[in-house]
Amino acid sequence: MIAIADYGRGNLWSVQNGFARVGAQVQISPDPAVVRRADAVIFPGVGAFRDCMQNLMASGMDQALLEVIAAGKPVLAICVGMQALLSESEEFGRTPGLGLFEGQVRRFPDTAPTSATPCKVPHMGWNQLQQQRACPLLTGIPDGAFTYFVHSYYVVPQDTAVVVATTDYSVEFASVLWRDNLYATQFHPEKSQQWGLRILQNFVTLSEGR
């Protein structure tokens, strides 16, 4: 069973519908015990980093996620869920994250470093994935594939070896992270049409092959 962790800060139904389109059944649950028992877990997130972390800790879902990851079960973090895996975010001052990837979450600059042209923040819409290394989550996804983003902050991991793909938007930022059983996308695969659905199918395959 694949569980979607419901801690009050994710677009849960869109994610569930995305998995339904690839023929997979998933269970949305606010119960950390259900998440612990799952074969694989989706960790979604929308909104502010600080609110995300507060809800995670208040619900007990933070400890459930840490236990699932430590047990070697596949976990897919999406958008702010991905950002929460980092050490801290500069949003609303410094807010600690889960610390599973050392590094920071930073706001996009209002202008690109090499240009005086203003950049619209948030980064919203379709953009390309530039693959840096092979990853099971991206099996069958061509280099340069377009996926759908909505975010004002981006992750800067200290260890570049965990970066699977990058995307350019005023700066080059990490858009897919991977280490062992932990996968993360800054974009929304459930909103990314053909290639997003393939990514969800790949995650289902990973959960079945565990």
Note whether 100 and 56 are within 8 A (CB).
no
Alpha helix stretches (DSSP H) within the chain: 12-21, 32-37, 49-59, 61-70, 80-83, 193-208
Q: How far apart are CA 1 and CA 167, in angstroms?
A: 32
Strand partners, 70: none
Superfamily in which the 2-208 domain is placed by CATH: Class I glutamine amidotransferase (GATase) domain (3.40.50.880)
Cβ atoms of residues 183 and 177 within 8 Å: yes
Q: What mean pLDDT is reported for the chain?
A: 94
* Model confidence pLDDT, tens digit, residues 85-101: 999 999 888 999 999 99
Active site residue ranges: 79, 188, 190
List, for residues 186-209, the tens digit of each pLDDT value.
Answer: 999 999 999 999 999 999 999 997
* CB-based contact 65:100 (threshold 8 Å): no
In the chain, % of residues over pLDDT 70: 96
Does the structure show a pLDDT above 80 at 31? yes
Q: In the prediction, which pLDDT does 115 show?
A: 58
Assign 10 a pLDDT band (cuts: 50, 70, 90): confident
> Sorting pLDDT into bands at 50, 70 and 90, what band is 117?
low
Q: How many helices and strands (H and E) does the chain possess?
A: 6, 14
CB atoms inside a 10 Å sphere around CB 44? 26
At 50-69, the pLDDT tens digits run 999 999 999 999 999 999 99
Please say whether the beta carbons of 188 and 149 come within 8 A.
Answer: yes
In this prediction, residue 209 carries a pLDDT of 78
Where do the domains of the chain lie?
A: 2-208
